[in-house]
Amino acid sequence: MRNLFLYRLLSGLLLLSLLLSPTMAMAFSAVPAAEAELEPEESPLAPLSVPSVTARSAIVIDFDTGEVLFNKDGDTRRPPASMTKIMTAFIVYEEIAAGRLSMDTLVHISNHASHFHRGSWPGHIVIPAGSHQRVETLLHLIMLPSHNGACVAIAEHISGSEWAFAQRMNQVAHQLGLQAHYENAHGLWGNSKSARATAVLTQEFIRRHPDILRITSTRFFSFNGMAANNTNRILSYPHVDGFKTGTTAAAGFCLSSTAVQNGRRVISITMNSACNDTRYSDSMRLLQFGLAEVARRDGLLHSLTVDVRANMPAARRNTDIVFTAQLGNLNTSYLTRVQGGGFTLNGQTVATFDAFSPVNRNTFTLPHFLPAYSTLEALEVGFFVDLPGGARRTGSITLPVSDQPPALFRDIHRHWAEGHIEQAVGAGLFSGTGNNRFAPNGDMTRAMFVTVLGRMAEQMGIDVAGSPHPPFGDVSTDGWYSRYVAWAFAEDITQGVSDTWFGARRAITRQEAATLFYRFMQHYSITLPGDATASFPDAYRIDSWAYHAVAEAVRTGLIVGLGDGRFAPNEAASRAQLAVIFVRFMDAYAAMPPAEEDVAAAEQGAPADCYDEGLVASYEWDDSVAFCPVNSHPLPSP
């Protein structure tokens, strides 16, 4: 009884000295009323004066970005005292999130946990041995009056013993990358961590489990009729909603605190302050500086610009359009953070983005498909950025809808090979890949190449049917490419990648494509005109078996180098590249001058367009596909 009286007397004197101290009085005088707002003392754009603090270690971080706003020896490990309980409570919330605990779970209080409070703070709050307490009650006892016995009880419940729970604490610290070591759940001895580690843990705690602020912002609490109020006196400061005190002889006076203003939160840590009042005055100066500094940095965002562009001057129906929003005029010195942003299309929000830092992310894209049946005359696309404090920056573009016919495929409009792709598809050589797409930049497989080659041969009057089935395990008897592979293999135009495997799904390389075209023309005695030459810096990479074929393809203009001048013989040939090659061959073949016997047949009034070995072959003229049967030549267009 006498000990309890002395404890209460000393507590009262300590609180009185705190309130009467000049340092604390000065700190509180900055915000004399609870409704007072924290305003920066200087211009929002001017650098702020760095506060002076007496704590041996101190740090302030921007909660949203993690950027350090103030640092004084923040990486030195020190005893954290009861700030240890931040990790204890964090693990409790992790257990709740995992479904292994709930706020209503009852925890058995062992004799050890019940008697652990004796000789430590708060000695007057007794948790009866053998009782069962709700997890939420124990969390309040841990985070408000800093009850050590409650920590022991929760540790025993989760891990079986406090020692095992300490190992769990160290495991979590390692996972979060914290400079910390734990030997117990309460912090009376043995533990160590840095101010930065405490700030990062507090940040992660609030981010994952914001409900903890409901507890840490509670100032008054009672347990079994006994006052169990919050030891954190800084809660009387505007905008502060936690977090945790810590005091031992070895640790000195420590405080983790957090405050939020205009949607922007900062976290302050002070360790090893000399006395109780400087712990609070230091923390309040740091919180004031932190909130003012993020407000200053956020003010730099007001010059942010938004530029919206499209990948085409006018939208075409049945086409994929890509809109790009570019944020500009950024100050890259700080990781300022906006509240969010998004795209609008014709006045409706169609995509949103959560809070982000424009320094790390300043380009956004919006893919949009304009259907073939669309009746829109224009697309109005905008991008908005919501700044801290409620301001908004916007940019927009009005894209007219072209009166062109709908694109053949949604992904070929304005592609460099669009015209050739349309010709190749119109000639029946190529088809789409499904879903209204051609996939122009996709790889062409060996099976698809031989199929297109076979389709072209059929249009030239070549019979590709009836060839024996090839000895390849990946070519079935009834596949869509089977008869074409059989024909090309029988005519020695193509071979397998091995004696038993064709490699149907393997991408065909550029030198392979040139070689198969060359063998096809050789086999059917087709010689295209041309005298083009080219010099490729990577010509030495062309395999010897393909060198003559590549040279012939270059001479006739069927194949040219890539944009960077290389031939890239071993790179996969794209569908667009090969569509161009096939169309070039079609055009070159159709433009070949007629043989003398063909001219004679024409002069005799032959009713056909093609002459083959002295016989008139029926062939309907088509300007887009002016092919005649092989070994004959087209006559002039009527």
Per-residue pLDDT tens digits for 443-470: 999 999 999 999 999 998 899 988 899 9
Average pLDDT on 167-176 reads: 96
Cα(121)–Cα(126) distance, integer angstroms: 11
Q: How far apart are CA 273 and CA 54, in angstroms?
A: 6
Instruction: Name the nearest CA neighbour of 270 among 259, 260, 284, 250.
Output: 284
- CA pair distance 424, 584, nearest whole angstrom: 10
Residue 197: the pLDDT is 95
pLDDT for 350 beyond 60: yes
- Residue type at 221? F
Residue 240 has pLDDT above 90, yes or no: yes
Angle at 148 between CA 143 and CA 149, to 5 degrees: 115
Q: What percent of the chain has pLDDT over 90?
A: 67
Confidence of residue 21 (pLDDT cuts 50, 70, 90): very low
* Separation of alpha carbons 2 and 19, rounded Å: 26
Element (H, E) at 223: strand 222-223
Query: Is the Cβ–Cβ distance between 563 and 584 less than 8 Å?
Result: no
For the chain, helix (H) and strand (E) counts, in that order, are 17, 21
The order of strands in the sheet holding 319-328 is 305-310, 319-328, 363-370
- Give the C-alpha separation, 47 to 45, whole Å: 7
Flag whether pLDDT at 31 surpasses 50: no
pLDDT surpasses 80 at 611:
no
Mean model confidence pLDDT for the chain:
85
- What is the helix (H) or strand (E) element at residue 20, kind and residue range? helix 2-20
Q: Are strands 106-108 and 132-134 parallel, antiparallel or unpaired?
A: antiparallel
* Nearby residues of 551 by Cβ (< 8 Å), 6 or more positions away: none
Q: 535-560 burial, b for 16+ CB within 10 Å, e for fewer?
A: ebebeeebeeebeebbbbbbbbbbbb
- Residue closest to 311 by CA, chosen among 302, 298, 324: 324
Q: Judge whether residue 425 has pLDDT over 90.
A: yes
The answer to whether residue 622 scores a pLDDT higher than 70 is no
CB 73 within 8 A of CB 196: no
Given a cut of 50, is residue 64 above it in pLDDT?
yes
Identified catalytic residue from 57, 72, 114, 146 = 146
Identify whether the C-beta of residue 74 lies closer than 8 Å to the C-beta of residue 61: no
Residue 82 falls in the annotated catalytic set: yes
CA distance 42 to 207: 30
Residues 6+ apart with CB under 8 A from 101: 92, 95, 135, 158
Out of 225-229, 329-333, 375-379, the most confident range is 375-379
First to last CA, the chain: 121
49 is catalytic: no
Instruction: Name the catalytic one among 57, 72, 82, 281.
Output: 82
Point out the catalytic residue in the list 85, 114, 192, 273: 85
DSSP assignment letter at 592? S
- Is residue 9's pLDDT more than 50? no
For residues 635 and 602, is the Cβ–Cβ distance under 8 A? yes
Residues in the chain: 638
Q: Give the global pTM.
A: 0.62
How far apart, in Å, are the Cα atoms of 381 and each of 142, 348, 350? 53, 9, 10
DSSP 385-414: EEPTTS-EEEEEEEEEBP-SPPPSSTT-TT
pLDDT for 436:
95
Q: Does the pLDDT value for residue 24 go beyond 70? A: no
Check if 85 is active-site: yes
Contact (CB, 8 A) for 585 and 527: no
What domains can you pick out in the chain, each with its CATH number?
2-300 (3.40.710.10), 304-400 (2.60.40.1930), 418-590 (no CATH), 596-634 (no CATH)
